[in-house]
Amino acid sequence: MSLFRNIVLAAVIAGLVSGLLLTVMQSYATVPLIIHAETFEGGGAEIHDHGHGAAHSHDAAAADHHHDPEAWAPANGFERFFYTAAANMLAGIGFALVLLTAAEALGGLSGWRKGMMFGFAGFLAFSLAPGLGLPPELPGMPAADLGARQIWWIATAACTAVALGLLAYTRSPLLAVLAVVLLIAPHLIGAPHPESHETAVPADLHARFVAAVFATSLVFWSALGAVAALVRDRFRQGEEAFSVSTGGVVSR
Amino acid sequence: MMTKSAATAAGLSLSKIIPLSMTAMLGLFVVGFVGFSQMEVLHNAAHDSRHSLAFPCH
């Protein structure tokens, strides 16, 4: 049970630290762009209002994107920042759990450098690879069906993660070929895209947003991996000291 | 003896499989909760975080 507890504790610490760092970076780099893009959301709705009688596909798509205005949403300012920070830290904890589990299954993390390498792998699998097919979206941008995009996102992240694991931890040429196929296949199949990419959101705003998302995510994942490894090392020293002091056999 | 050394070479001993599958499931559940849950209130709370982490949103 101590393995479970130690991984969870290490993930919580790594997630809180890197999630907080991410929130600070986002509040300068990405959130202002999101808030700017939201000013174009209303403009999109006006265009769609013209098509009352003629139920063209745009209206159906637009209806999906509009959220219930009655639903609770955090107020702009501190409340919004607070919930973003909470979501980032939770995401960090979840990602750290996945990262630490993978690292432990592959022989364990030792040292922050290896942790950072795992962090880079996490960035490739959970940020860059899905982001190549589905570039980070700003509010007010048209997109394909949410369910289809979520499935493609998850499948791409999973394929990329497995591929990186195979490349790094196996030596068989056959598995290397499989890894390359897994890396490429999601992009050959292609992410779901809307019929039209027409949007009121300026292209340069979106370009800046995509760059900011990848830059902040890279720092977030490196910090996540490095901190997770440092904390995990600490806890392992505790585990081993405990095993030795009780005369138990250290299982490695 | 052979099987044991093979298993430890792969870094996975039997005693590790259960805790590791638990941490993996917990992690995937948390990520799914933050990034993919379609509940309106959760979506609104995690909105900026989802956009900034390149999760599909809206």
Which residues from chain A sit within 8 angstroms of residue B14, using beta carbons? Answer: none
ipTM: 0.83
CA distance to partner chain B, nearest, from residue A247 (Å): 19
Q: How far apart are CA B30 and CA B25, in angstroms?
A: 9
Q: Looking at the domain assignment, is residue B39 inside a domain?
A: yes
Q: Is residue B26 part of a domain?
A: yes
pLDDT (0 to 100) of residue A71: 80
Segment (H or E) for A223: helix A203-245
Residue B2 belongs to a domain: no
Residue in A137, A145, A217, A232 to test binding to B, most B beta-carbons within 10 Å: A137
DSSP 8-state secondary structure symbol assigned to residue A124: I
The answer to whether the beta carbons of residues B54 and A134 sit under 8 Å apart is: yes
Q: How far is B2 from chain A (nearest CA, A)?
A: 16
Reading the block at residue A166, the tokens are: 């195979």
User: How far is A211 from chain B, CA to nearest CA, in Å?
Assistant: 11
Domain that holds residue B45: 13-52
Segment A228-237, tens digit of pLDDT? 999 998 888 7
- pLDDT of res. A61: 43
d(CA B33, nearest CA chain A) in Å: 9
* A71 contacts in chain B (CB < 8 Å): 40-41, 44
Closest CA to A136 of A199, A209, A78, A236: A209
pLDDT at B6: 47
Sites in chain A below the pLDDT cut of 50: 44-65, 248, 250-252
pTM for this prediction: 0.85
Q: Is A8 on the interface with B (CB under 8 A)?
A: yes
Please indicate, yes or no, if residue B27 is contained in any of the structural domains.
yes
pLDDT at A56: 41
- Quick one: which of A223, A248, A186 has its CA closest to A24? A223
Q: B3 lies in a domain? A: no
Q: What is the pLDDT of residue A198?
A: 87
Q: Which of A179, A93, A34, A83 is nearest to B57 (CA)?
A: A34
Helix H, strand E, coil C: the string for B1-58 is CHHHHHHHHCCCCHHHHHHHHHHHHHHHHHHHHHHHCCCHHHHHHCHHHHHHCCCCCC
Task: With CB atoms and an 8 Å threshold, state whether A104 touches B16.
Answer: yes
Residue B6 lies in a domain: no
Q: Is A99:A231 a contact under the CB 8 Å cutoff?
A: no
- State the Cα–Cα distance between residues B32 and B53, nearest whole angstrom: 13
Q: Work out the angle at residue A85's Cα, subtended by the Cα atoms of residues A83 and A86, and round it to the nearest 5 degrees.
A: 65
Who wins on pLDDT, A75 or B4? A75
The count of CB pairs under 8 A between chains A and B is 154
Between the CA of residue A26 and those of A12, A59, A66, A154, A220, what are the distances in Å?
20, 32, 24, 23, 10
CB atoms within 10 A of CB A14: 29
Q: With contacts defined as CB-CB under 8 Å, which chain A residues touch B43?
A: 67
The residue that leads in pLDDT, A44 or B28, is B28
Which pLDDT belongs to residue A192? 93
Q: How many domains is chain B built from?
A: 1
A101 vs B10, B27, B51: nearest CB? B27
Mean pLDDT for chain A overall:
86
Note whether residue B57 is domain-resident. Answer: no
Residue of higher predicted confidence among B21 and A251: B21
**Structure tokens given for A241:** 């000291």
A52: burial class by Cβ within 10 Å (0-12, 13-18, 19+)?
Answer: exposed
Q: What is the pLDDT of residue B13?
A: 76
Instruction: Identify whether the C-beta of residue A17 lies closer than 8 Å to the C-beta of residue B32.
Output: no
Q: How many CB atoms lie within 10 A of CB A171?
A: 6
Of B26, B45, B52, the CB nearest to A83: B45
Establish if B42 belongs to a structural domain.
yes
- What residues in A contact B53, CB-CB < 8 Å? 88, 91, 127, 213, 217
